[in-house]
Amino acid sequence: MANLTKNLIESFEEFKEVKGIDKTSLMSILVDVIKHAIAKKYGKANNFDVIINPDKGDIEIWKNRTIVDDEFAEDSFDFDPNKHISLSEARKIDETFEIGEQVSEQVNLESFGRRTIMAMRQHLIQKINELEKSEVYNKYKDKVGEIVSAEVYQIWKNEIMFIDEEGNELIMPRKEQIPTDFFKKGDIVRSVITKVEMRGATPIIQLSRTSPVFLERLFEQEVPEIYDGIIVIKKIVREPGERAKVAVESLDERIDPVGACVGMKGSRIHGIVKELRNENIDVINFSTNPQLYVQRALSPAKVSQVIIDEKNKKAEVYLKPDQISLAIGKNGINIKLASKLTGYDIDVYKEETEEIDDVELIEFADEIDMSIIEQLRSVGLDTARQVLEKTDDFLENVARLDRETIQRVRTILQAEFEE
């Protein structure tokens, strides 16, 4: 019987060392398990004290009874031998005892019997496993959207099981893997936590490498300006393993958001591309101007003209013949992602070969600052000829441009028609 008690203590010690659960929680569970057994044997457990000494590896159980007079003990139906003790019996223990005082007597765990102690051990294991699962859920539930590194443990047809540094199981379904991903047991893989839920009593932590959030977190790690909030990622769309488009905006006009994200000679974006199995990443400057936004979204194609139908959320895009295939992309991926990024259904048309009488101002965005183009557009001047037809006084007083800027704009626009 002593071996069973020792086995119970050793189970407690094992869980304390292996499961990584704090000592206070484990001791509370063990006390609850023992009190549950006491209640089954004695009817109640509220007059028992259970003392755990994990350092010595022992358990003490004390039964506390109130001293009553002998007449009450003999004649009253309220007398409970588990709660009360007669004065004469109490004075056999200590002659100084008086009525109303408490008598504490130690109860040997072995007295509960073999079956009860074995049941206590099973109950202890069950309770600790439940606590462990709850601890795992609580650890990860607030980490949705964070990147985690985990080791490949088991590979199945439809999913991969990973384990973290504490041995917790994480799952990545096949659809959350980049098509060109290839892992083997023992590989350390980075991914983002997308979902944490309890199924029955089991915590399910789901990982993804195809989520746009994964790409966003990678940018945060590689680009300090994004992490610090100086550059904001407005939207990300992906065709995992093939292409991604990232719209960014700088809150500091002195910082070029695209250049900051790409880095010197591509130093910042190179690591992200490698992590995503050479997925092509287009970083574009976000714009509230729909024509310009659509034009940029179709990168690397060079767009000649964009006509927006705001009511039906459609965009007609005109390109030179050699740019059409670039705009559409392999298997239509480029135009598909551009549509998702901008929110417009994009239709591509071949640009007419005859000379165009006029040119949209947004086509000069590389030469004329967008703030100037927006000022001109705000007073109804959308094309180059419309601007050239206006007087300097109109451009100065209505469009609010200074004389030097007006002359520079005229020179740029006139050069277009001279060509």
pLDDT per residue as tens digits for the range 25-53: 777 888 888 888 888 888 888 888 888 77
Has residue 156 got a pLDDT over 60?
yes
Instruction: Please give the CATH superfamily to which domain 2-137 belongs.
Output: NusA, N-terminal domain (3.30.1480.10)
Q: What residue spans define the domains of the chain?
A: 2-137, 148-208, 212-233+240-279, 287-354, 361-418
The yes-or-no verdict on residue 148 having pLDDT over 50 is yes
Predicted confidence at residue 257, as pLDDT, reads 95
Taking residues 254-268, report their average pLDDT. 93
Q: Is it the case that residue 270 has pLDDT exceeding 70? A: yes
Superfamily (CATH) of domain 212-233+240-279 = K homology (KH) domain (3.30.300.20)
When pLDDT is averaged across residues 187-209 and rounded to a whole number, the result is: 94
Tell me whether domains 148-208 and 287-354 share a fold: no
Higher-confidence residue of 57 and 314: namely 314
Give per-residue pLDDT as tens, 95-113.
888 898 998 888 887 778 7
CA dist., res. 38 & res. 50, Å (int): 10
- Top-level class of domain 148-208: mainly beta
Lowest mean pLDDT among 61-75, 150-164, 191-205, 298-312: 61-75
More confident residue, 234 or 96: 234
Give the separation between CA 248 and CA 285, rounded to whole angstroms: 5
The CATH number for 287-354, chosen from 2.60.120.10, 3.40.50.2020, 3.30.70.270, 3.30.300.20, is: 3.30.300.20
Neighbour-count burial of 332, counting CB atoms closer than 10 A to its CB (0-12 exposed, 13-18 middle, 19+ buried): exposed
Question: Could you give the CA distance from residue 240 to residue 175 in angstroms, rounded to a whole number?
Answer: 10
What mean pLDDT value characterizes the chain?
Answer: 87
pLDDT of residue 2: 46
